[in-house]
């Protein structure tokens, strides 16, 4: 998402919180409008566009989740940040499944909101245009979970033009059986497409005969279905996105400072309690490197072998509990650090792995 004065719509039925949050965001340089109900927010959003919606979930009349869903029909690329003081698991899950970026628990420090917004606007913005049954919701969730902001639309020229005017970093367009419609979209949007850094066309084997017609336009990359998150990331320039770091078994207090520093240095962190949890998601997510706190050093070769089978080019950094097995790990040319942690060394190793 490109640098500009962001427009934010704040929705909360608590007057004090709504006024204070809006005032703080304005002081930070954002353009802010506020609403006390979801219905008022929808009316405002029908008249002017916003980049971010920050909404309480539990409100009278209509929930924040429903508000976000309705506004997103008007403005498909708006990014939702939800707030709640209650354990509303169903509504939170519903909001996240509908594409909300995050859900913040009340009460919260203002810095949490500001850092969440910073995270939102620093992530690459992807627009996905396809029929619902072609690029499904799981794929869109995987893109989001891998560090992208994602907006979606079916093949409606007006809606696509609206989203492309927000200058996304990548457009993913599915070519379906109605090839003439896909080609017409390209012809109508050619000037706009020339301003998009990366355009990815997704096609089936059966559509190969038609691809040459679009290739002549010279403005797109091509990926065959089924498309994966890794296919998308190969077209994103590293200097235009954050580095994605998977962290395994690193929830203990001893890693708090490490996480804080990595976040401040601009890394995206994805935390997993176990290596099995990590491998379960590996096929659907994109990581630049993995950082794993090892229980027993002798298990490292097994983990590393499986990692290389699943994703050969993904480098790993092993956090060892002692120096006892450093020699064995070093012989295999694995990247490693030994507790107590040298955070600068970890950052250095991440940069080394991602630059190779």
The band of 202, judged by pLDDT with boundaries at 50, 70 and 90, is confident
In this structure, are 106 and 40 located in the same domain?
yes
- Whether residue 3 has pLDDT greater than 50: no
The band of 135, judged by pLDDT with boundaries at 50, 70 and 90, is low
In the sheet where 268-272 sits, what is the strand order? Answer: 268-272, 244-248, 289-293, 315-320, 335-338
Residue 70 in any domain: the answer is yes
Q: Under a CB-based contact definition with an 8 Å cutoff, are residues 229 and 143 in contact?
A: yes
Q: Which of 102, 122, 142 is the last residue of a domain?
A: 122
In this structure, are 207 and 247 located in the same domain?
no
Residue 67 in any domain: the answer is yes
What share of the chain in percent tops pLDDT 70? 93
Distance between CA 155 and CA 150 in Å, rounded? Answer: 16
Higher pLDDT, 306 or 220: 306
Distance between CA 34 and CA 53 in Å, rounded? Answer: 10
Residue 179 in any domain: the answer is yes
Distance between CA 277 and CA 280 in Å, rounded? Answer: 5
In this structure, are 246 and 351 located in the same domain?
yes
The band of 67, judged by pLDDT with boundaries at 50, 70 and 90, is very high
DSSP state of 239: G
- Whether residue 2 has pLDDT greater than 70: no
DSSP state of 270: E
In this structure, are 90 and 129 located in the same domain?
no
pLDDT at 1: 46
In this structure, are 227 and 261 located in the same domain?
no
3-state secondary structure of 74: helix
Helix axes 64-74, 89-97, angle to 10 degrees: 10
- Whether residue 11 has pLDDT greater than 90: yes
pLDDT at 25: 95
3-state secondary structure of 304: helix
In this structure, are 113 and 136 located in the same domain?
no
Residue 2 in any domain: the answer is no
In this structure, are 116 and 133 located in the same domain?
no
pLDDT at 243: 92
- Whether residue 187 has pLDDT greater than 80: no
In this structure, are 349 and 261 located in the same domain?
yes
In this structure, are 227 and 131 located in the same domain?
yes
Q: Name the range with the highest mean pLDDT among 2-16, 87-101, 240-254, 291-305.
A: 240-254
Number of domains in the chain: 3
Q: 2-11, 14-23, 267-276: which has the minimum mean pLDDT?
A: 2-11
The band of 351, judged by pLDDT with boundaries at 50, 70 and 90, is very high
For residue 81, give the nearest of 40, 120, 27 by alpha carbon.
120
In this structure, are 260 and 342 located in the same domain?
yes
Higher pLDDT, 19 or 105: 19
In this structure, are 114 and 129 located in the same domain?
no
- Whether residue 158 has pLDDT greater than 80: no
Q: Under a CB-based contact definition with an 8 Å cutoff, are residues 203 and 231 in contact?
A: no
Query: What is the average pLDDT across 133-159?
Result: 77
Q: Under a CB-based contact definition with an 8 Å cutoff, are residues 334 and 297 in contact?
A: no
pTM score, two decimals? 0.72
In this structure, are 253 and 342 located in the same domain?
yes
Helices (H), the chain: 15-27, 38-45, 64-74, 89-97, 110-122, 137-145, 157-164, 179-188, 190-193, 208-215, 229-233, 256-264, 275-282, 300-310, 326-331, 343-355
The band of 14, judged by pLDDT with boundaries at 50, 70 and 90, is very high
Q: Under a CB-based contact definition with an 8 Å cutoff, are residues 196 and 190 in contact?
A: no
Residue 95 in any domain: the answer is yes
Residue 1 in any domain: the answer is no
Q: Under a CB-based contact definition with an 8 Å cutoff, are residues 96 and 74 in contact?
A: no
Query: How far out from the chain centre does Cα 192 lie?
Result: 24
For residue 17, give the nearest of 29, 35, 3, 30 by alpha carbon.
35
- Whether residue 271 has pLDDT greater than 80: yes
Q: Name the range with the highest mean pLDDT among 5-19, 198-212, 328-342.
A: 5-19
Q: Which of 94, 122, 150 is the last residue of a domain?
A: 122
DSSP sequence for 150-189:
EEEE-S-HHHHHHHHTT--SEEEEE--S-HHHHHHHHHHT
Q: Please, what's the largest Cα pairwise distance for the chain?
A: 65
- Residue range of the domain that includes 35: 7-122
For residue 52, give the nearest of 28, 77, 35, 69 by alpha carbon.
77
Q: Under a CB-based contact definition with an 8 Å cutoff, are residues 244 and 288 in contact?
A: yes
Q: Please report which helix (H) or strand (E) contains residue 100, including its range.
A: none
Q: Which of 61, 89, 122 is the last residue of a domain?
A: 122
User: What CATH number has the domain bearing residue 227?
Assistant: 3.40.50.2300
């Amino acid at each position: 998402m490109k640098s500009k004065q962001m427009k934010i719509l704040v929705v909360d039925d608590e007057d004090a919180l709504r006024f204070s949050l809006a005032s703080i965001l304005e002081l930070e340089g954002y353009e802010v409008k506020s609403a006390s109900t979801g219905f008022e927010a929808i009316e405002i959003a029908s008249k002017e566009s916003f980049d971010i919606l920050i909404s309480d979930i539990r409100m009278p009349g209509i929930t924040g989740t429903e508000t976000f869903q309705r506004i997103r029909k008007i403005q498909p690329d708006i990014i939702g940040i939800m707030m709640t003081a209650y354990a509303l698991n169903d509504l939170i899950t519903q909001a996240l499944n509908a594409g909300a970026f995050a859900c913040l628990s009340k009460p919260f420090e203002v810095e949490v909101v500001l850092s969440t917004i910073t995270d939102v606007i620093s992530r690459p913005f992807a627009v996905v245009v396809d029929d619902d049954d072609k690029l499904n919701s799981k794929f869109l969730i995987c893109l989001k979970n891998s560090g992208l902001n994602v907006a979606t639309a079916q093949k409606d020229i007006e809606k696509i033009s609206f989203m492309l005017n927000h200058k996304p970093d990548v457009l993913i367009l599915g070519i379906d059986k109605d090839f003439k419609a896909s080609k017409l979209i390209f012809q109508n949007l050619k000037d706009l497409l020339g301003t998009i850094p990366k355009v990815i066309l997704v096609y089936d084997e059966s559509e190969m005969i038609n691809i040459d017609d679009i290739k002549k336009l010279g403005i797109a990359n091509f990926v065959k279905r089924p498309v994966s998150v890794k296919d998308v990331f190969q077209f994103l320039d590293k200097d235009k996105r954050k580095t994605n770091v998977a962290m395994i078994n690193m929830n203990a207090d001893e890693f708090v400072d490490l996480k804080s520093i990595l976040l401040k240095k601009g890394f995206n962190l994805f935390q997993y309690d176990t290596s099995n949890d990590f491998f379960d998601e590996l096929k659907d997510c994109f990581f630049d490197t993995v950082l794993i706190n090892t229980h027993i050093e002798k298990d490292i070769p097994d983990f590393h072998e499986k990692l290389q089978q699943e994703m050969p080019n993904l480098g790993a950094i092993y956090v060892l509990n002692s120096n006892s097995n450093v020699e064995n790990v070093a012989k295999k040319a694995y990247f490693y650090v030994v507790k107590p942690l040298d955070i600068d060394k970890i950052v250095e190793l991440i940069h080394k792995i991602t630059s190779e």
